[in-house]
Amino acid sequence: MTTTLKSEEERALGYLPLTESTFAILASLGNPLHGYGIMVKVAEVTGGEIRLGPGTLYGALTKLLKEGLLEKAGEENGGERKKLYLLTPLGRRVVALESERLERLSRWGRELLSREG
């Protein structure tokens, strides 16, 4: 049991560091969204700082599904059937680890700046 837990943690660590696009996609999928919903959400949350082109997003979604960081959460009924994506527990762990890593880095940067100030 402990060995599987450990390997899961190692697996999650293996994805770090994430690209900005990958982080944004994962972080926007706490609730199920379809592809275009992800683009809108990322633009909203970052105030347009991070934008996702459809080519970049499609490639990332395909890859993240294959790696098990995302899963399909059924289909949304509209004029056309659209896939919904959702974060898996592994994906959630990757977001947590990456957030901690980024926090350590930004704390380091802020310390430097406060000493100089």
Partner 1 sequence: MEEKRVWKFFFAWNDWKEEEWLGRMAAEGWHLLRVSPFLYRFRKGEPADLVFRLDYRSGFQRDREEYLSLFREAGWEHRGEMGGWQYFSTPRGDGKRTPEIYTDNPSRAAKYMRLLFLFFLLLLLQINSFRHFFLSRRTFSNPGDQALFTGMKICVGFFLIVMLYALIRVGLLVVQLRKGGGVPFDRS
The residues binding partner 1 (CB under 8 A) are: 19-21, 35-36, 39, 51-60, 62, 80, 82-83
Which residue number, 25 or 95, has a Cβ lying nearer to partner 1? 25
> Cα–Cα distance between 40 and 67 in angstroms, integer?
24
What is the closest distance, in whole angstroms, from the C-beta atom of residue 23 to partner 1 in the complex? 11
Which residue number, 29 or 39, has a Cβ lying nearer to partner 1? 39
Cα 49 to the center of its chain, rounded Å: 16
DSSP per position, 17-51: SPPHHHHHHHHT-SS-EEHHHHHHHHHHHTTTSS-
What is the closest distance, in whole angstroms, from the C-beta atom of residue 68 to partner 1 in the complex? 17
Which residue number, 54 or 68, has a Cβ lying nearer to partner 1? 54
What is the closest distance, in whole angstroms, from the C-beta atom of residue 99 to partner 1 in the complex? 20
Cα 78 to the center of its chain, rounded Å: 26
What is the closest distance, in whole angstroms, from the C-beta atom of residue 8 to partner 1 in the complex? 25
- Token readout for 76 is 């949304």
